[in-house]
Amino acid sequence: MRIVIQRVSSGSVSVDGKVIASIGQGLVILTGIAPTDGEAQARLLAEKTANLRIFEDQQGKMNLSLLDVKGAALVVSQFTLYADARKGRRPSFTDAALPAVARPLVDFFAQQLASLGAPTQCGEFGAHMVVQIVNDGPVTILLEAD
């Protein structure tokens, strides 16, 4: 499982011109699933994400977590995180899980974040989404679970 976390002042997802999810301060989490991933990886990354100290405290140091600042999470499935572009000019996506495996794990990951206390919204799995991200910092973190 591979996630890209972006600290944001706001983020939203639109499908067919309609906003389906929107958050203020928090994290936009682009989420890729590998065929061998399971609930253990999703649980680990949800816990790590919710408690990752990447928000600034009163002294301007990154000491606060998503839970500390009472921020929200916006989870967006993104199989292209498993793109392999080492050969040729057209990326291969064979390292990404098929939808039957990926969809339930993305949902499980989002549910885990919510159960930890982070208000969580999601994009629409498999849809063509327009994702608006107002990156704060910018702060972007890549996490992987094997």
* Residue in 79, 84, 85 with CA at minimum distance from that of residue 35: 79
Task: Tell me which residues are annotated as active site.
Answer: 78-80
Q: Are strands 26-32 and 120-122 parallel, antiparallel or unpaired?
A: unpaired
What letter would DSSP give residue 11?
A: E
Dihedral angle over CA of 99, 101, 105, 106, nearest 10: -10
